[in-house]
Amino acid sequence: MLPRIPEIMRANDLIDLAFRRAAKESSLLTIRGVPRLIRTRKKEEKKVKVVARVIKKHLNKVLKAPRIEELPSFYQELVDIAIGIEKLKKSFGAVKWAVKKIDSLEKHYRYKIRTSQTEADASKYRREFYGRTASILRDISEEIDFLRDASRKLRSFPVVKDIFTIVIAGMPNVGKSTFLKAITTSKPKIESYPFTTKQILLGYFKRRYREYQVVDTPGLLDRPLEKRNPIEKQAILALKHLANVIIFIFDISETCGFTREEQLKVFKEISSLFKVKVIPVVNKADILDKEKIKEFEEKIGEKIFVCSALKKEGVENIIEEAIKE
Ligand code: GDP
Ligand 1 test: best mutation among 173, 263, 311, most atoms within 8 Å of CB? 173
CATH (one of 2.60.120.1090, 3.40.50.720, 1.20.120.1190, 1.20.1200.10) for 11-155: 1.20.120.1190
Rounded to 5 degrees, φ, ψ at 241 are -80, -15
Of all protein residues, whose CA lies closest to atom 19 belonging to ligand 1? Answer: 175
C-alpha 144/C-alpha 153 separation (Å) is 14
The predicted structure's pLDDT at residue 115: 97
Find the 138 Cα to ligand 1 centroid distance in Å: 57
Cα(293) to ligand 1 centroid in Å equals 17
State in Å: Cα 178 to ligand 1 middle: 6
Residue-wise pLDDT tens digits, 222-270? 777 777 777 777 778 778 889 999 999 999 998 889 999 999 999 998 8
* Helices first, then strands: H and E counts in the chain: 11, 7
DSSP 140: T
234 Cα to the center of ligand 1, angstroms:
27
Which residues lie with the beta carbon below 6 Å from any ligand 1 atom? 170, 172-178, 283-284, 286-287, 308-310
Rounded-to-integer distance, Cα 70 and Cα 76, Å: 9
Atom in ligand 1 nearest the alpha carbon of residue 172: 2
Please state which CATH class domain 165-322 belongs to.
alpha beta
Q: Which residues of the chain register pLDDT less than 50?
A: none
pLDDT tens for residues 28-56?
Answer: 988 888 999 999 999 999 999 999 999 99
Domain ranges of the chain: 11-155, 165-322
